[in-house]
Amino acid sequence: MSLWVDQYRPRALDDLHYHQGLSSRLKALAASGDFPHMLFYGPSGAGKKTRITCTLRQLFGPGVEKLKIDQRVFLTPSRRKVEVNLVQSNFHIEITPSEAGSYDRVVIQELLKEIAQTQQVDLNAKQRFKVVIINEADSLSRDAQAALRRTMEKYMSNMRIILCANSTSRLIAPIKSRCLLMRVAAPSREEMQTVMQYVSKRAGFDLPPEAGDKIVDDSGGNLRKAILVLEALKMQSPDLSGPLAIAKPDWETYCHKVADMIISEQSPARVMEVRQKLYELLSHCIPPIIILKTIAERVVDRVDEAIKADIMHWAAIYEVRMRIGNKKIYHLEAWVVKVMSIYKHFFYDMDMSAFD
């Protein structure tokens, strides 16, 4: 039995409940006969993947839903084997090259070259090209992006590329200039309520407005999270009445604990304790940027107004350094030490001013 977020996912562009103007543009592009490379970008949970899937169905018909999962092994120049999972139909292939880490360039070069040099085999296909969907495009290395740019130029005749990213800031300008950019903004409160009402009706119950408001407040514009929370609450309390307790994920609670440790004591011993907690989070595959963001927000909530801007300023600096560097833990630790220093100096200055 699948989750509601998959079970009630729209299959066609006409079924989407928000950003109707964007859906109309995608339908027109699919019918135009001149389909370009595309870049879908927007916050997590805004519906990028759903729109891409609906666009593929508009292009090729229901055949794109007959999927199979495959695993490909790529050989790096140093003879190392890299395994990457593929999701594919007769008309498209979906890959996440960032799974290969620093070897994403090899995946991009070999796979796209292979796809581009083969013609569309399905004679009943409406289009004569295949589509390659690249997830987490903003996590690609600069070398991989350069390789992708060359491929986009060379094999336009029988391949189209659809990139999916949270932000365009880490994509090189030549790639952005070769794609039609599609911004998928986070849905508004009213749009999220509409979608949740639709899901609840399909699931066979009525969603109380108070419960809907609480879920919307908790999800922060992430529609996927909102539907998952709705399903979890329905399992806990079938009538969705009374005070609803939305449980936080374990990793988020753990991040809040780390933030509280930073505030409560500033010492070398505490830095070592925080380091162990950070390693624990990283070992459970929580993205380091999410760790930094969650801890920073909690710290800012608990400190004096005078140092909030300073703490977020350094969080932004170390986030940039983290994206450029390889050892994420170094930058997380450096930010923790910096915050401890700012916090301690602030209270020291306050104590000194009391004697003036």
State pLDDT tens for residues 29-53: 988 878 889 999 999 889 999 999 9
**Structure token digits, residue 287:** 């993205």
Pairing relationship of beta strands 92-95 and 130-134 according to DSSP bridges: parallel
Distance CA 279, CA 327 (A): 12
Three-state secondary-structure class, residue 104:
helix
Does residue 122 have a pLDDT over 70? no
With a pLDDT cut of 90, the percent of the chain lying above it is 34
**Most confident of the following: 26-35, 123-132, 154-163, 258-267:** 258-267
Report the pLDDT value the prediction gives residue 162, as an integer from 0 to 100.
Answer: 93
Asked whether residue 184 carries a pLDDT value surpassing 60, the answer given is yes
Block residue for tokens 């505030």: 263
Phi-psi region of 160 (alpha: psi -120 to 50; beta: other; left: phi over 0): beta
Tokens, residue 52: 């891409």
Q: How many CB atoms lie within 10 A of CB 158?
A: 15
Q: Give me Rg for the CA atoms of the chain.
A: 24
Task: Indicate whether 10 pLDDT > 70.
Answer: yes
Which one-letter amino acid corresponds to residue 265?
E
Q: For the chain, which domains are there?
A: 4-183 (3.40.50.300), 189-236 (no CATH), 250-348 (1.20.272.10)
Which DSSP symbol is given to 136? T
- List residues bridging with 162 in a β-sheet: 38, 133
Strands 81-88 and 68-75: antiparallel
CB distance 221 to 186 below 8 Å: yes
Region 334-338: mean pLDDT is: 94
Other beta carbons within 10 angstroms of residue 4's beta carbon come to 18
> Is 160 within 8 Å of 131 (Cβ atoms)?
yes
